[in-house]
Structure 1
Amino acid sequence: MTDPATKGPASYFPSIEKKYGKPIAEWQALVRAALPAKHMELVAMLKEQHGMGHGHANAVVAYTLAEDGK
């Protein structure tokens, strides 16, 4: 989980894990498997194929791409 002082996309991680039942690492693996898709294509994939809300999907994608330097 994240520290209470966490800001930015990672601040959504506890609620994402609770709501969708998978650890963030699994969501990141899905995003990475869909590369080299563009940011909004990845967001759409999480929303359409996994029922994730826009804000949560955007947070996972933004954090994953930033972590990977993309």
Structure 2
Amino acid sequence: MTDAVKGPASYFPSIEQKYGRPVAEWKDLIRASPLTKHMELVAWLKSEHAMGHGHANALVAHTLAEDKGE
């Protein structure tokens, strides 16, 4: 039996399905953005890519944590 994915990554399947891009592509977009603060990036995903708050927040949180080695 496998453990269920928890935290921000639990949103990834629905993000890929709803927005039509793989998570890796979203992470590349976040990393390429000149914005660096969490909520600025969330607002950018919401305004520029019509992403819902929860999905944007999950992607940004996971990407920033990954970049910090967490």
TM-score (norm 1): 0.90
Distance 1:20 1:4, change over 3 A: farther
Where does residue 53 of structure 1 map in the other structure? 52
Q: Percent sequence identity over matched residues?
A: 69
Runs of 4 or more above 2 Å deviation = none
Q: What's the counterpart of residue 68 of structure 1?
A: 67
1:5 is matched by which residue type in structure 2? A
Structure 1, unpaired ranges of 5+: none
Instruction: Rate the CA distance shift 1:36–1:48 in 2: closer, same or farther, 3 A.
Output: closer
Alignment of 1:19-58 (within 5 A): 19-58=18-57
* 1-structure distance, mates of 2:59, 2:34: 14
Note closer, same or farther for the CA distance 1:30–1:52 as it changes in structure 2 (3 Å cut): same
Q: Which runs of 5+ in 2 are unaligned?
A: none
TM-score normalized by structure 2? 0.90
The number of equivalent residue pairs is: 68
Pick which of 29-38 and 46-55 moved more. Answer: 29-38
